[in-house]
Structure 1
């Protein structure tokens, strides 16, 4: 799990930074945006995620040995734009995959793990 945390740490930190930025801007933007706040914030978040994914080596799939080029860049941007919820969803999915893999093991294989 340490390798996973190290690999996904930058994505988590970027998403957390985004959440903090939007919280700081909220008192000023809320009165200006009114009912369009969610849409504008989503646009800001996606632009932030795309910019970070395009200009830095941060990737969500590469740590798992998946070289997917622009798809990895897009998924990374989406995870970042989701803030901490995006990375939590990814970690939850990975946990489900781990449990599904364990369910396919025989009792002997489980004892060895």
Structure 2
């Protein structure tokens, strides 16, 4: 298996799992402490992200050869994990929209050629 995939795969899995945990906690905290829910969820996510990063030895910079300042790698990995997979979902949506846009343009161009 590709070493990069082998190194970053667990980070994505943990990121997804943490996002699911936050999704489960969201409605509970919404009822209990609504005014402070957002920052409490963020704090929980960061703490769990740090614990998982340290406990599982996850590092996102190491596969790229960055070995100096390991504390920074831990922090960046925890922040990446804390972000969940929302960025990936957003990226996939953008790609899907662009594909639709390209198809629509191609159809319009084909119709224009057919008219001419």
State the TM-score, normalizing by the size of structure 2.
Answer: 0.66
RMSD of aligned residue pairs (Cα, Å): 2.1
- Equivalent residues in 2 for 1:22-61 (5 A)? 22-61=22-61
Q: SS of the residue aligned with 1:83?
A: coil
Higher-Rg structure is 2
How many residues matched?
A: 88
1:19 aligned partner: 19
Which structure 1 residue ranges, 5 or more long, are not aligned?
Answer: 90-113
Q: SS of the residue aligned with 2:13?
A: helix
Aligned-pair CA distance for 1:87: 6.7
Distance 2:74 2:16 in 1: 18
Which structure 2 residue ranges, 5 or more long, are not aligned?
Answer: 91-116
CA contact (8 A) 1:11 1:87 kept: no
2:96 aligned partner: none
Aligned CA distance change for structure 1 residues 21 and 8 (closer, same or farther; 3 Å): same
State the TM-score, normalizing by the size of structure 1.
Answer: 0.68
